[in-house]
Amino acid sequence: MAGSSDDLFVRGVRLFNQRRFFECHEIWEELWKPSAGEMRRLYQGLIQTAAALHHATRGNRTGALAVWSKAREKLEAAPDRYRGLSIARLRTELDDYFSRSENTDPPPRIRSMRRVR
C-alpha cells in the first residue's frame, strides 16, 4: 500500500468514520508494521479498536469486548492527542459504547473520530 504515514492515517480515519472497520484495520496495519516503541503501541491500539468494532457490528459482543479490553490498555498509554484527533475522547466514547452495547439490542451507534483544536 503506497502513501505517506499521514495519508495512510487519514485514510484509516475516513474508513473508521464510514464504519468500514475491517478496511480501516488493514490500512492502519501499514503504519503499524514499520513502527516502533510508543507509536507501534498506539497503532496497535487503533487497529485493535477497529477490530473490536468490526466484531461488534457483526454481533460478536464477546469478541468485541475482549479485543476492546486489549485496545483500551494500549490507548490508555497513548498521548491524549495524535495528529489532530483526541485519543482521550475516543477512549471515553468507546468505553461508553461498549458498556451500553452490553445492555442494548441493537448496540448504540458508534461515533466518528473527530478533529480537535
On whether residue 112 sits in a domain, the answer given is: no
Query: Which residue range is the domain that position 54 belongs to?
Result: 5-101
Average pLDDT, the chain: 86
On whether residue 109 sits in a domain, the answer given is: no
Per-residue confidence (pLDDT) for residue 116, from 0 to 100: 46
pLDDT at residue 107 above 80? no
Distance CA 14, CA 113 (A): 9
Secondary structure letter of residue 108 according to DSSP: P
Mean pLDDT for 66-85 is 92
pLDDT at residue 77 above 60? yes
On whether residue 17 sits in a domain, the answer given is: yes
Distance CA 116, CA 101 (A): 26
90's CB contacts (< 8 A; 6+ apart) are 49, 75, 113
On whether residue 91 sits in a domain, the answer given is: yes
On whether residue 117 sits in a domain, the answer given is: no
Per-residue confidence (pLDDT) for residue 5, from 0 to 100: 84
Number of domains in the chain: 1
pLDDT at residue 117 above 50? no
On whether residue 86 sits in a domain, the answer given is: yes
Mean pLDDT for 1-18 is 85
On whether residue 114 sits in a domain, the answer given is: no
Per-residue confidence (pLDDT) for residue 59, from 0 to 100: 87
The CATH number linked to 20 is: 1.10.3450.10
On whether residue 68 sits in a domain, the answer given is: yes
Tell which wins on pLDDT, 98 or 66: 66
* 33-53 pLDDT tens trace: 999 999 999 999 999 999 999
Mean pLDDT for 78-103 is 86
| Sequence-ordered alpha helix ranges (H) in 1-117 | 5-17, 21-32, 37-57, 61-76, 87-101
